[in-house]
């Protein structure tokens, strides 16, 4: 396996740069940022190339600029793949709901690139058996499906507001263009819009109802969380409507027995 240092050396030689050239260029970068951490002396660069010394975040930035490469590529040479961040997030479940900005930084995703010819989208099936091949696809190729209206959130490990529809640990896709609360017209709780709301206490997913100058944040009937009435829009900001979810079933268990929901807590002044 080719180590990161050998790749750096090969890239430098391919560009026709000497170690002194790199020092001169990084010295100018350090002067521009007024931080000597960006500077890479020839002896330090030699250690990186021959002894596989891992560069600091400042020097990694300098190398990416001097060698005209994406810093993600250089990180990958040291076995740090930012596209794997989504899978690693499950190891740290924050207790509070929040926006998941790390997903925005992905440059590639793994998707099915070849399906079994017998796949019939009209029938319930095991997708894992229908996929003949998976592949990493640059997000640039998926631009036609992109929309700047979407953002992503995470239901905290202690947020039971929409349990059991959205259990703790659920990832949600939010359509920011749908930030106006709809009134009525749904036939079941599954059709009723769920909104991602920011309050002074943080974020939450819930049903919403407007009442004069207030907004009622309504939890699921089986949730132990109480409903809230907040001044709107002073105390609550509707980020958007939840239009997609990703969750693991059966992986969450309550640490305590749920308590009965209390009545609506009026906080209007």
Q: Which tens digits make up the pLDDT trace of 199-233?
A: 988 899 999 999 988 999 999 999 999 999 999 99
Average pLDDT over every residue of 24-36: 97
Average pLDDT over every residue of 10-21: 94
Per-residue pLDDT of 84-101, as tens digits, reads 776 677 777 788 888 776
For residue 75, the Cα-to-chain-centroid distance in whole angstroms is: 19
**43 torsion bin: left (phi>0), alpha (psi -120 to 50), beta (else):** alpha
Cβ proximity of 217 and 206 under 8 Å? yes
pTM score of the predicted model: 0.55
Cβ proximity of 92 and 169 under 8 Å? no
Sheet architecture: strand order including 236-246:
98-99, 150-154, 171-175, 236-246, 195-199, 202-211, 214-218, 228-231, 265-266
pLDDT at 111 over 60: no
Cβ proximity of 234 and 242 under 8 Å? no
pLDDT at 159 over 70: yes
The per-residue pLDDT of the chain, averaged, comes to 81
3-state secondary structure labels for all residues of 111-138: EEEEECCCCCCCCCCCHHHHEEEEEEEE
Residue 260: its pLDDT value, please? 39
* Token pair listed for 133: 């091949």
- The CATH 2.10.109.10 portion of the chain extends over 150-266
Nearest of 16, 75, 1, 9 to residue 42 by alpha carbon: 9
Pick the CATH number of 150-266 from 3.30.70.2860, 2.60.40.10, 2.10.109.10, 2.60.40.2310: 2.10.109.10
Topology of domain 4-77, per CATH?
Answer: 434 Repressor (Amino-terminal Domain) (1.10.260)
- The CATH 1.10.260.40 portion of the chain extends over 4-77
Alpha-carbon torsion angle 225, 231, 235, 239, nearest 10:
80
pLDDT at 121 over 60: no
- For 243, the enclosing helix (H) or strand (E) is strand 236-246
């Amino acid at each position: 396996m080719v180590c990161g240092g050998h790749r750096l050396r090969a890239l430098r030689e391919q560009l026709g740069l000497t170690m002194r050239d790199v020092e001169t260029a990084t010295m100018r970068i350090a002067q521009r940022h007024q931080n000597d951490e960006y500077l890479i002396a020839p002896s330090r660069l030699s250690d990186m190339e021959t002894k596989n010394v891992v560069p600091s975040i400042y020097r990694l930035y300098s190398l990416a600029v001097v060698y005209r490469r994406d810093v993600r590529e250089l990180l990958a040479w040291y076995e740090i793949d930012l596209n794997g961040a989504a899978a690693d997030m499950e190891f740290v479940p924050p207790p509070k709901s929040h926006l998941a900005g790390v997903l925005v930084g992905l440059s590639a995703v793994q998707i099915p690139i070849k399906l079994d010819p017998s796949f019939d989208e009209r029938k319930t099936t095991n997708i894992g058996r229908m996929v003949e091949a998976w592949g990493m696809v640059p997000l640039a190729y998926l631009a036609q499906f992109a929309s700047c209206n979407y953002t992503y959130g995470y239901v905290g490990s202690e947020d039971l507001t929409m349990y059991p529809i959205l259990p703790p640990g659920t990832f949600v896709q939010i359509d920011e263009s749908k930030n106006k609360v709809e009134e009525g017209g749904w036939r079941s709780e599954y059709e009723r819009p769920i909104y991602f709301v920011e309050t002074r206490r943080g974020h939450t997913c819930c049903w919403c109802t407007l009442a004069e100058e207030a907004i009622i944040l309504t939890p699921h009937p089986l949730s132990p969380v109480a409903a809230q009435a907040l001044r709107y829009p002073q105390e609550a900001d509707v980020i958007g409507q939840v239009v997609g979810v990703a969750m693991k079933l059966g992986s969450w268990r309550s640490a305590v027995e749920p308590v009965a929901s209390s009545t609506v807590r009026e906080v209007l002044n």
